[in-house]
Structure 1
Amino acid sequence: MKKAFKVPHTLTLLFGMMIVAMIATWIVPQGFFQTELTESGRSVVVPGTYELVEERELLTPWQLLTAVPRAFAAAQDIIFFVFIVGGVLAIARRTGTVDALIGRLLEKHRDRPEKLIFMVIFFFSLASGAIGTAGEYIPFVLILVALCKAMKLDSMTAVGMTVAGYGVGYGVSAFNPFTVLIAQGIAEVPPYSGLWLRLAIILPFVLIAFHHVWSYAKKVKADPSQSLVADLPCPLNGQEQAAYPQLNGRHRLILGTFLVTIAIAIYGISQYGWYLYELGACFVGWGLLITVLGRLKFDEAADSFIEGVKDLTTTAVLIGIARGIALILEDGQVLHSIVNGLSMPLSHVPAALSAVGMLIIQTILNLFVPSGSGQAFVTMPLMAPLSDLVGVPRQVAVLAYQFGDGFSNMIVPTNAVLMGIIGIAGVPYDRWFRFCMPLLIKLMLACTVVLVLAVIFGYGADYQPEVTAMVLESSLQAHIG
């Protein structure tokens, strides 16, 4: 009798991808674009400057091994943020506030879980689309897992509504400063231009995501054996509540300070460019505050914090290894070669197909450059002049970048935020892939329709920067030369 195939552990899959990336550096031509610094100090590639390296440098297995600790160092900000959030949330749970909140939400939504799912996806997508929130959702994951558990759903549903909201928000973002505004600046189109279309498609894309998550949740609620994680232990480690405490005044005060903490974080992000170090500091401060408000002894708070951190050790390891994949490709000098090779065929197809091709390229490249702003700096200096050559408005090229970067965030294993979310929820990557891939296909089909119609109706043509025929010709020669 044949032995049933067993999907490897997520850590095994990620390290296997590091090995594949190393082998790719032996096969793919090594080369690079020249870069220049923008006014903000970020490095941007210069179109038409791609060159092969004079002498190929082969990465060795030793460099693969050293990439592992280097990857942990490179991902330290998200790793330590996850640790801090896990520890502080454990303190909040010790005060009884988290369980009281879950009990209150159950009272309101026990018979209408679809309402809760829609609200989470919708509001998370609005937040991601407006200010680029991503890692900020990590504190909500275990709360949603506990809530779904109490509603006879599963942890996959909790992850589904969280990541779907995050992905849709980035994909159809109206004015995300870390993606849309950067890409528009590089493409030399006015900031916030084309806003009407991005606002118009938010709700349809949210509904696509909601339908997918709710369809799955309904099956699980009707038959728990249909759950993709039915055979796995609950990540709550036996902390599920049979009965929830009443939400009292002290709990409400703690929840109020949580909202104030989030508001401070959002203000810092928008006004001062804060990121994970500053956000981590906000949560450390909140943890100290709720220790006092919750009338906990400091030793109790310390024990809870350590327990919360210990529960997320596996998640931290996965985040570090995921960063190693892109690190190997950067060391092997093949990242720019991949970008160059993928973009060249676009100059030989009609405009509408070129726009769809840009979507495919941006989706693929997000595996190698999971940072939204980083991907904009690598790809948009090439896609903007290329869009001029093939008759695609630059605004459409920006839209293709948004779609490709945002929606693929939901599935690429090099995305540290994604690995953090599924790790906290105890969902293996292969199970998440089975859940998310059909959703990604639906969203990509919708993106294709939007991009084709955008080209047909000249979306963004009224603020297309002037480019002379001579510039286009020289750019084309540099691109195919």
Structure 2
Amino acid sequence: MKKEFTVPHTLVLLLGMMLLAYIATWLIPQGFFETVILDNGRSAVVAGTYALADDQIRLSPMDFLVAIPRALAAAQDVIFFVFIVGGVLSIARATGTIDALIGRLLERFGHKPHLLIFMVVFCFALASGAIGTAGEYIPFVLILVGLCKAMRLDAMTAVGMVVTGYGIGYGVSAFNPFTVMVAQQVAGIPLYSGIELRLAIFVPFVLIGFHHVWRYAKMVRDDPSKSYMAGLPCPLDNTESTDYPSLNIRHQLILFGLVASIVIAVWGISQKGWYLYELGAVFILWGILTAIVGQLSADTAANRFIDGVKDLATTAILIGIARGIALIMEDGQILHTLVHGMSMPLSHLGAELAAVGMFIMQSILNLFIPSGSGQAYVTMPLMAPVGDIIGVNRQIAVLAYQFGDGFSNMIIPTNAVLMGIIGMAGVPYHLWFKFCFPLILKLMLAASVVLVLAVMFDYGAGVQPAAMPAASLLE
């Protein structure tokens, strides 16, 4: 009897990708671009300076193995933030607040799941597009999983709402400070320029995402056996809860604390340069206040916190291993070679095809450079002068980068935030890929149409600088 093929565990898939990256370091020529330090302290490559490395590095099998704990250490900020959020939410669940909130939301949206899905996708896309929120959504995952479960949906629908909003928000952002503003700065065009087009395409792209999630959710509601998650355990266990507690004053105070924590976090990110360490501290404070308001004993709160952390151990490992893929390529000196090799063919294409090619290239490179701002510093100094040569305005090059970075964030396994979200919801990566890949194709098609039209209508011509040496992009 033929053995049926089964998809490997996500950990096996990630380790396999690390191994492929390791093998690639032996096969791909090693090289570098020269880099300069910008006024903000970040380094950026200099176009036209790529050269093969004088000293070729051959990573040993021991280097490969050592890269695994190094990757876990490199991703520690995300890992410990996920641990903290999981532990604190476990405390909140012990107070009955999460169940009470789900009950209240069911009263309002129980018969209107399409409205709930649209609101979540729209609001998350708006926040990501405006201020670059991403990891801040992790606390909402289990709440949405519980809500979807009560509405006869599944965890995939919950993750779909969160990640679709996050990815589309980044992809069509009007003024995300971590992507759009950085890319425009490096490309040498005015900040906030070209905002009219990005605002105009926001709602249409959100509607594409909403339709994809709602179509799946409707299929699950009509026939639960068609759920991609059928037969898999729910992170909130498999018991059916129909008796939700009322939302009393204690619960309301705890939820007010959550909202206040999010507001403080957003303020800290935008005004003080906070990131995951500070956000973790804010949520620890919320957890302590939650235990006090919820009248949990110190031992009970501690035990529930540890239980929440234990539930996310697998997620933490996956987040760390995902970081190892880029780490191996950096150690093996092939990252710049890949960027250089992928940018060269663009100069031989017409402007319309080149713009779409830039978008595809940025999407692929996001697998190896999952940081949005990091990708801008590596690729925009190359894309801007290439665009000057072939007739793609720099504003269009920025838009191509933005589409590539944002949409691919929804599916690449090296994105630590994505792995944290699907891990918290108990969604295996291969099933998420099955759900998300058709959406990525839809978004890529729509984005390609926008880029071709942008070239045809000379989008960004008003801010296109005069020809200049490539290195001056970084001055």
The TM-score bracket by the shorter chain reads over 0.9
Q: How does 1:152-231 map to 2 (within 5 A)?
A: 152-231=152-231
- Shifted more, 421-430 versus 459-468: the winner is 459-468
Provide, for residues 19-71 of structure 1, a one-character-per-residue CA deviation record: whole Å limited to 9, x for no partner.
00001111111000011111111110011110101242221211110000000
Q: Taking every aligned residue pair, what percent have the same amino acid on both sides?
A: 69
TM-aligned CA deviation for residue 240 of structure 1: 5.3
Matching residue of 2:264: 264
Which residue does 2:379 correspond to in 1? Answer: 379
Q: Distance in 2 between matches of 1:43 and 1:55?
A: 22
Which is further off, 250-259 or 332-341? 250-259
Q: Normalising to structure 2: TM-score of the pair?
A: 0.98
Q: What is the root-mean-square deviation in Å for CA atoms of aligned residues?
A: 1.2
Asked if the contact 1:188–1:465 (Cα under 8 Å) also holds between the matched residues in 2, the reply is yes
Which residue of structure 1 aligns with residue 398 of structure 2?
A: 398
Cα distance, 1:238 vs structure 2: 4.5
Structure 2 CA distance for aligned equivalents of residues 184 and 379 of structure 1: 12
Distance 1:302 1:177 in 2: 37
Q: What residue is the counterpart of 1:479 in the other structure?
A: none
Q: After superposition, give the CA deviation of every residue in 1:416-467 in whole Å (9 maximum; x if it has no partner).
A: 0000011111111100000000000000000000000011101111011111
- Counterparts of 1:238 and 1:232 in 2: how far apart (Å)? 9
1:220-277 per-position Cα deviation (integer Å, ceiling 9, x unaligned): 1111110111021111135653311001111111111111111110000001111000
Structure 1 residues 128-143: aligned runs within 5 Å: 128-143=128-143
- Secondary structure of the structure 2 residue equivalent to 1:281: helix
Contact 1:146–1:240 at 8 Å: present in 2 too?
no
Q: Secondary structure of the residue that 1:89 maps to in structure 2? A: helix
Residues 378-416 of structure 1 deviation map (CA, whole Å, 9 limit, x = unaligned): 101111111111111100000000000000000000000
Aligned to 1:252: 252
Alpha-carbon distance in 2 for matches of 1:55, 1:424: 43
- The TM-score with structure 1 as length reference comes to 0.97
The match for 1:65 is 65
In the aligned structure 2, how far is the partner of 1:462 from the partner of 1:169? 26
Residue segments in structure 2 that go unaligned for 5+ positions in a row: none
User: For residues 117 and 330 of structure 2, what CA distance do their matches in structure 1 show?
Assistant: 39
Question: Shift of the alpha carbon at 1:296?
Answer: 1.4
Helix, strand or coil at the partner of 1:44:
strand
3-state DSSP class of the match of 1:398?
helix
Number of aligned residue pairs: give it.
472
* C-alpha distance in 2 between matches for 1:111 and 1:103: 13
User: Which ranges of 4 or more aligned residues in structure 1 deviate by more than 3 Å?
Assistant: none
Q: Which amino acid aligns with 1:438?
A: P
* CA distance in structure 2 between the partners assigned to 1:284 and 1:102 by the alignment: 23
Question: How far does the alpha carbon of each residue in 1:257-315 deviate from its partner, in whole angstroms, 9 at most, with x for none?
Answer: 11111111000000111100010010011111111111111111111100000000000
Aligned to 1:6: 6
In the aligned structure 1, how far is the partner of 2:273 from the partner of 2:197? 27
Question: What does residue 417 of structure 1 align with?
Answer: 417
Gaps in structure 1 of 5+ consecutive residues: 476-481
Distance 1:107 1:246 in 2: 11
Hey, what's the Cα distance between the residues in 1 that align with 2:233 and 2:249?
34
SS at match of 2:36: strand
User: Does residue 282 of the first structure (1) align with residue 300 of the second (2)?
Assistant: no
Query: Equivalents in 2 of 1:27, 1:90: separation in Å?
Result: 47
What is the letter of the counterpart of residue 355 of structure 1? Answer: A
| Counterpart for residue 478 of structure 1 | none
* Displacement after TM superposition at 1:216 (Å): 0.6
TM-superposed deviation, 1:335: 0.3
